[in-house]
Amino acid sequence: MGRRAKVIQCDSQTRGELERISRSLSAEARLVRRARMVLGCLDGKRIVDIASELSVQEDVIIKWRDRFTSLGIAGLHDAARSGKPVTYGDEWKAGVLKKLEEEPPNNLARWDGPTLAAALGTSEDAVQRFLQKEGIQLARMRTWCISTDPEFSAKAADVVGLYLNPPENALVLCIDEKPSIQALSRRTGYVRTSNGKIVRAVKSTYKRNGTQNLFAALEVATGIIHGKTTKAKKRVDFLSFMDDLLKELPSEKGTQYHVILDNYCIHKRCNEWLAANSNVTFHFTPTSASWLNMVEVWFNILTRKVLRGASFDTTSALSDAILGYIKAYNETAEPFVWKKRDVSGSQIKDNLSNLRG
């Protein structure tokens, strides 16, 4: 004769909660099954009958009945377990960071995941997981340029002030040159790669057909570009571009032109020309801070849209492509919006510990 369940009792509220769990479609299946075991015992059923009904061992029912008797409904949940011993603990993690501050072996320029794992005698997967969790990217690099100009603050404030609050009855212009643009002849087209993707293709060999220099002026208020291609980039070429530019720009009486330039030599020692054009004022960016000149943004656009991966059989074709793009660009030109960018971590650190925590 099967054993009869030990008589247990509970209050109505606890029984109601057990019944709710036993009917739940969202609770864990094991919790639902345990609630049904306890309800069977509360109803006075035999252990063997409950075991047959729920397809479990009799000892399992006795275990959860006794857990419920001692701890109530909380006893139906799994007890805390120690779990698998930690393989890669704090000591191991500290060892990874310490190793990264050492010079990599075999004259390597930097550490990578496999090299780091080999040096530590540990799993590559574990190293990669740790680096990913810590946000450490060994393959990515950033360059930095820190101006040492003692007048950086004053010069930067002057330039940014022209962007944000230009003088009345004045045009603000950003001017620079993009030198030595190569006219390269090479075959271009499309290829299908081994994974089935179709990509743009450029033949690795090419023919050099000479170079062109581009002088460009960006109207800050409108985003319109004025450009001129030349063979050379001497001061005489720069001043010739400035003469042509003044002829293109609005020339209402009293209009002042504020020109933002970098410290390249051909932009300096132009006092005679400035004296003859008293409505033009040059504003120089701080040393090593050409990024303050907005026309550099447009040069990047030109490179991506027109120059990268292109083929030109002559310098004339290169020049026509550049000037043609400027004409098309100006049809929908919009001003760039100057925004202050917070650069965190711009000062290089000697080790990882200075960047963490």
* For the chain, domain boundaries: 12-76, 90-134, 153-330
CA distance 184 to 186: 6
The CATH architecture annotation of domain 153-330 reads: 2-Layer Sandwich (3.30)
pLDDT digits (tens, 9 = 90+) for 241-288: 999 999 998 777 778 999 999 999 999 999 999 999 999 999 999 998
Q: For position 7, what pLDDT does the model report?
A: 79
β-pairing, 256-261 with 170-185? parallel
Question: Which residue stretches of the chain have pLDDT < 50?
Answer: 1, 343, 345
Q: For position 343, what pLDDT does the model report?
A: 47
Q: For position 4, what pLDDT does the model report?
A: 56
Q: Are 317 and 211 in contact (CB under 8 A)?
A: no
For residues 118-127, one letter each, b for 16 or more C-beta atoms within 10 angstroms of the residue's C-beta and e for the rest, the string is ebbebeeebb
**Cα angle 332-335-337, degrees, rounded to a multiple of 5:** 140
Q: For position 283, what pLDDT does the model report?
A: 96
Q: Are 64 and 76 in contact (CB under 8 A)?
A: yes
Q: For position 311, what pLDDT does the model report?
A: 93
Q: For position 252, what pLDDT does the model report?
A: 74
